Amino acid sequence: MNPFPWKDAMRFGLGVLRLSPDAFWKMTPRELASAWGAVMGERTAPLDRQGLHTLMETFPDDR
């Protein structure tokens, strides 16, 4: 089993959703996955490097 992708989850929760750290850490992984599906569409596989690159281009941190 692969470890939970915390780095990607934190980038999405804090960077894309712009959650406060407190709100992010109170979410369950299932709640974060649901938010991901609402924003990015449902996923069938783990995020790969190209998917992360696309996500970062679509939602840059320096808006």
pLDDT tens per residue, range 1-54: 778 888 888 999 999 999 999 999 999 988 988 898 888 877 677 778 888 888
In this predicted structure, what is the pLDDT of residue 50? 85
pLDDT band at 62 (very low <50, low <70, confident <90, very high): confident
- Whole-angstrom Cα distance, residue 32 to residue 29? 5
In this predicted structure, what is the pLDDT of residue 21? 95
Q: Which pTM was predicted?
A: 0.58
Contact indicator for 29, 4 with CB cutoff of 8 Å: yes
In this predicted structure, what is the pLDDT of residue 33? 85
